[in-house]
Amino acid sequence: MAKDPSFLFAGVHFNKKKFANDFARFEVKDDSVDDKSLFGTAEAVQENAAAPPPKKRKRNRKGVASDPVEGFNVFKSSQSEPDIPEEKTEKDEDGPSKEKKELFRQMERNAIFRKKHNIHVSGANVPSPLQNFAELKTRYGCKSYILRNMAKLGFKEPTPIQRQAIPVLLSGRECFACAPTGSGKTMAFVCPILMKLK
């Protein structure tokens, strides 16, 4: 049984009073247009052809940024300082510094470690996962009695969820974790609380 498309719209009505402004936008206007103004006169066409369109120029922001106002600097003294040659700044930008290289190496090591333990993270600047529980003392200043009690309870090595969730929570960030039952989620969330208690 074939039904015509009007069946799909049965019972649908538009309130034209409520949406009068919207309907007015789409109505056809019958404004009579003056033929002379539409096509213009020969003189107007010649004037437009004679005047070339203005050319747009791109602004050079580099020059604006390099010209500081003399005698006024918000962050330093009120006297102007000599300009730094651009050659030195360009060389510094070309090669990453030793700190950046070390940061990239650490990020690569973290990615390999996470892949090894099947840890998936998202976000920016995610803290490094824990290698072992002893790292809590060195990185976050965990009290030794907490580590002893954890060892007595049988926590020898952190599970993957504990390796990543504890550093994230101790860095003061929000954490949304998904892990199987029995993987140590509760311990991962309780450990930072115990460390923060005085």
Cα 163 to Cα 152: distance, rounded to the nearest angstrom: 19
> For 51, which DSSP code?
S
Show the CA angle centred on residue 93, arms to residues 78 and 103, nearest 5°: 110
Q: Encode the chain (198 residues) as per-residue pLDDT tens digits.
A: 556 666 666 666 767 788 788 778 877 766 555 555 555 555 555 555 555 566 666 666 555 555 554 554 555 554 555 555 555 555 555 456 889 999 999 999 999 999 999 999 998 889 999 999 999 999 999 999 999 999 999 999 999 999 999 999 999 999 999 999 999 999 999 999 999 987
Write the single-letter amino acid at 184. Answer: G
123, with CB counted inside 10 A (0-12, 13-18, 19+), is exposed
Locate 102 and state its tokens: 């070390």
Locate 191 and state its tokens: 């450990």
On whether the pTM is more than 0.85, the answer is no
